[in-house]
A and B are shown apart, each in its own frame.
Chain A
Amino acid sequence: MKFLKQNKYFFLLRIALGISIIAIGYLTTMFYFQMKDLDSSFQSIENINATQNELDELFSILKEDEIKLSNLIIADDVAISKGIFNREEASEKIKNLEQLSANNRFLHQSILKLASFIEKKYTLFDEIMASSKAIPYDENTFTEKLFENKRFNHSLYKFIEDDVQPNINGIKLHDSNYPEKIATTRKTVFILALVSIVIFLLSYSKMNDNLLYLKKINNDLKLLNDTFNSAEKIAGFGYWKIDLSTNAYTFSDNLYRLLEEDPKKFKPNWENFNKYIHPEDYEYVIKTNKESIDNQIPTSMLFRYILPSGVLKYVISTANFRTNDKGQNIKIGVIHDVTEQFKKTFELEENNKRLIAINAELESFNNIVSHDLQEPLRKIQMFISRIEANDLSVISEASQGYFSKIKVSANRMQHLMIDLVNYSRTIKSDKIFVEINLNAILQEILEELQPTIEETKAKIAIDELPNVLGTKFQIQQLFINLISNSLKYTKPNTTPEIKITTDDFFADNLEDSINEKSDKIITNKTYFKIIISDNGIGFKQEYSEKIFQLFRRLETEMSYTGTGLGLAICKKIIENHNGFIKAQGNPGIGATFIIYLPKSL
């Protein structure tokens, strides 16, 4: 955008320059013609002055000759009459006058006429002279000639006065505006100088601006270049450029550094760079590069190179084609050192493989626990039940006591194993959520727990429950554990009462409603809130977090058996479902468990 503006600006500058040149040219031409005009005025003034001079001199000559004529007549000196008049000088003057007046047509004509007058005058002189010396002398003719001379003189002067002099005066008058012309010329010169100065000043200021601007751009570019260079250094990449038309290479400084060489250490070209490529990758890189240049396709490849120190580096080289402003095809590439990332990725992959293996082992361990360990236990229990049914009465009382302890221990072990398997199943569970009808689930659970419910004569009240999203066996496990807990930790001589109620819930109010610090809050999510409360032995509120810990059992009387896994499994299941579980206890009054399950995933 800035450059576009700059272009427009240069265009305007060019127009201004053109206009200035035209203006100066015009003024200079004008000045030239004015000078020429002045020059010719000066010439004609000089001419007229000379003409006047010549004319005056001509009259002096004529006057002198007139006097000579009078003297001759009086002296009657005929002998000296021949060649006494300054006829040649007069002709000379006429000739000069003709030349001087050559530029003025009117004056020239007057001069030509004057010439004929002068010719006639000298003819008259000659005739007077001849008549004065005529033999026989004729008084009348002579007098006649003298009169004629007098008349002729009169007409000659009249002619000069009326014709020649006005012409000369005219020219003088014509050139009398000479000072005016000089003033005009002075003005022109002044304007010319002024315009030149203005243009010069404008140009200078503009040029100065441009220089400053260029300097600024230059600084910016330098800064950008510096930034780019340090960015290159920090990010661990280097770039290269090939002008495909000239095959000229450019390597950035950091490209050398990536190769552990000083910048500009070697001539930037393909051969020098290739020396660093790992021999196993060499062919691949060369081939890919050739194909890229042949088909003008961008490249992106991962390869290794070996530094002079012997260190192995992994780099990603990406390159693409561009056309520069001269229309030359250039290929620009970036080489990025990804050794660290590559090593980390490699480590991660290794760890992943190990994790998968561990998981598989864990799964087989699960299978062992759930099947292979339960199998002998089940048989032990089976034998116990057989002895119990047939032969218990025939052994000693002490042995009967031991036998009963064997049975309790075997049962406890069975529960522990079942819980362990359940817990491990919640850990590795695949999160495939389906819509689950809680009412149906609870119905199934009640059927399953029917014997215990009958035994404890518990009253269970269940609200109409919503459909939730979840993994069925986990949700089932969750409610089995919670209801079993309520059925287990009952107060003696009290009818157990269990209530399951529901409520909608928006996470914004979560803090307030549970009145304690929550470890995770997902706001703007609506939750199903399901409350399971009982009137059992309860617990102290300070244990409300601890009871969810693995193998954590609260100090209760030994009559309450448990594995310490049930609530840990519940918490795990709820976490798997992105929900929360909270416990509220009141010793001797009851326990309440609140489940928050998100309405949507």
Chain B
Amino acid sequence: MNSDSSQMRILLAEDDEDDRLFFNDAINELKMNNRLMTFKDGRDLMDYLENPETTLLPHILFLDLNMPCKTGAECLKEIRANPKFKDLTIAIYSTSSSEKDIEETFIGGANIYIKKPNDFSKLKKVIKDVVNMNWQYHTSGLNKETFFLSI
């Protein structure tokens, strides 16, 4: 894995090993110029982000909600409270599609909500769409309807 600063830096916080594997495979198969880092829980993620040695900030964070040690919601709150990460795009990546979770993460400052697909090709499509999305444009017109990404 090279560390080209022009690469798209993508983070994934996900406690399920299989899901991390699917995600990794999908990114690899997409053959995009990007670099993926995965974390097994929220604390791992926050340790990395808050480490002063982390100088190259990520572009996009895929954040699972149900995680041990520190949940996705807690991470979201901490990240959005830190001005350093104001440009970080946060994509919620969860099995749940409950109104409550969608509402709370929307208010919490997440940029998009993705329900984990049950088909590998769909997963690839989702990642491609999110990575290629014009975030400036998306964020300016963000509302609750466009927040939930329908596949």
Which A residues fall within an 8 A CB radius of B?
370-371, 374-375, 377-379, 381-382, 385-386, 389, 414, 444, 447-448, 473
Are B118 and A378 touching (Cβ within 8 A)? yes
B98 CB within 8 Å of chain A? yes
Knowing A385-B118, A389-B120, the reply to whether A473 touches B99 (Cβ < 8 A) is yes
Residue of A nearest to B150 (CB): A448
The 0/1 profile, CB within 8 Å of A marked 1, for residues 12-27 of chain B is 0000101100100100
B145 nearest CB across to chain A (Å): 8
B119 CB within 8 Å of chain A? yes
A377, B117: Cα distance in complex, Å: 11
Pick 6 A–B contacts, CB within 8 A, sort by A.
A370-B98, A371-B95, A371-B96, A379-B16, A379-B18, A414-B118
B112 CB within 8 Å of chain A? no
Q: Which residues of A contact B118 (CB under 8 A)?
A: 377-378, 381-382, 385, 414
A519 nearest CB across to chain B (Å): 31
Are A378 and B116 touching (Cβ within 8 A)? yes
A211 nearest CB across to chain B (Å): 83
A381, B145: Cα distance in complex, Å: 27
Are A378 and B95 touching (Cβ within 8 A)? yes
User: Pick the contact of B120 from A370, A386, A414 — CB < 8 Å?
Assistant: A386
Q: Which residues of A contact B95 (CB under 8 A)?
A: 371, 374-375, 378
Residue of B nearest to A440 (CB): B145
Q: Which residues of B contact A371 (CB under 8 A)?
A: 66, 95-96
Residue of B nearest to A444 (CB): B145
Q: Which residues of A contact B116 (CB under 8 A)?
A: 378
Knowing A371-B95, A371-B96, A374-B95, the reply to whether A382 touches B120 (Cβ < 8 A) is yes
A371, B100: Cα distance in complex, Å: 13
B31 nearest CB across to chain A (Å): 16
A374, B118: Cα distance in complex, Å: 10
A474 nearest CB across to chain B (Å): 11
A447, B121: Cα distance in complex, Å: 21
A26, B19: Cα distance in complex, Å: 126
A371, B115: Cα distance in complex, Å: 11
With A381-B119, A444-B145 given, can you name 4 additional A-B contacts, CB distance below 8 Å? A371-B66, A371-B96, A381-B118, A382-B22
B75 CB within 8 Å of chain A? no
B126 nearest CB across to chain A (Å): 13
Residue of A nearest to B96 (CB): A371
A370, B94: Cα distance in complex, Å: 12
A473, B66: Cα distance in complex, Å: 24
Residue of A nearest to B94 (CB): A371
A385, B119: Cα distance in complex, Å: 5
Are A385 and B96 touching (Cβ within 8 A)? no
Are B96 and A382 touching (Cβ within 8 A)? no
Residue of A nearest to B65 (CB): A371
A375, B66: Cα distance in complex, Å: 11
* Interface-central residue, B116, B117, B120, by most chain A CB under 10 Å: B120
B60 CB within 8 Å of chain A? no
Q: Which residues of B contact A385 (CB under 8 A)?
A: 118-121
B110 CB within 8 Å of chain A? no
Are A389 and B98 touching (Cβ within 8 A)? no
A411 nearest CB across to chain B (Å): 9
List of 6 A-B pairs having minimum Cβ-Cβ separation, nearest first: A381-B118, A385-B120, A385-B119, A378-B118, A386-B120, A375-B95
B23 nearest CB across to chain A (Å): 11
Q: Which residues of B contact A381 (CB under 8 A)?
A: 118-119
Q: Which residues of B contact A447 (CB under 8 A)?
A: 150
A258, B133: Cα distance in complex, Å: 81
- B91-132 at interface with A (beta carbon < 8 Å): 95-96, 98-99, 116-121, 123
Are A382 and B98 touching (Cβ within 8 A)? no
Are A382 and B66 touching (Cβ within 8 A)? no
Q: Which residues of B contact A414 (CB under 8 A)?
A: 118
A386, B18: Cα distance in complex, Å: 12
B30 nearest CB across to chain A (Å): 14
A25, B145: Cα distance in complex, Å: 109
A136 nearest CB across to chain B (Å): 183
A205, B123: Cα distance in complex, Å: 111
A389, B121: Cα distance in complex, Å: 9
The 0/1 profile, CB within 8 Å of A marked 1, for residues 32-45 of chain B is 00000000000000
